[in-house]
Amino acid sequence: MRPHEDITAAGYIRSLRVAGPAREIDRLLMELAKGGAEKCWQRDGEERLHLSAVALARVDSRSLALQVSYLAPQLRGQVSYRGSYQEIALNRKRRIYAERHKALGPVEIPSADRAAFMNLITPMQTEHLVPLSPVLAEICGYEQLPSGLFPY
């Protein structure tokens, strides 16, 4: 996991990205620097910024496009080369590999759903959100574990 990514309750790696004019990205970076928080963002070119949910909640990003992606972490005995990986030595003879596979995204969050999305990704959220749109309905399964019995 990278510093600007979060783990969801459902076990996925969440990556948030805002995009817009370079001057707006610069403004966001200045707001984040004023907060004195640890570095939980990464600039991606002049017009894109990856940031964690905590950093996103601290700044006003309503004028920028917001996208979310989800990655599925997996432990494997051999490298599949389907995503980035990291080797973990168990002992001198045995190794396993932690891989990250694309699960969903990037999905653009409509401006009308931005407040509901922020409630969904807030760690203190205890109630399950009733989806307001098809976009949030798709995202809910990557954010929260379903309650009740598994359908069969």
Which residue did the predictor score with more confidence, 138 or 151?
A: 138
Predicted pLDDT of residue 95: 94
- Spatial CB neighbours of 139, under 8 Å, sequence gap ≥ 6: 68, 104, 107, 117, 120
Q: How confident is the model at residue 124 (pLDDT cuts 50, 70, 90)?
A: low
The structural domains of the chain, with segments of one domain joined by +, span 5-72+104-143
Structure tokens at 69: 């992606």
Predicted pLDDT of residue 90: 93
Instruction: Using only the alpha carbons of the chain, give its radius of gyration.
Output: 17
Round the average pLDDT of the chain to a whole number and report it.
86
pLDDT tops 70 at residue 40: yes
Beta strand spans in the chain (E): 5-7, 13-19, 41-43, 48-51, 65-76, 84-89, 95-109
Q: How confident is the model at residue 87 (pLDDT cuts 50, 70, 90)?
A: very high
Q: Dihedral, CA atoms, 116, 20, 53, 109, nearest 10 degrees?
A: 30
Q: Please give the model's pTM, rounded to 2 decimal places.
A: 0.84
pLDDT tops 60 at residue 127: no
Strand duo 13-19 + 84-89: pairing: unpaired
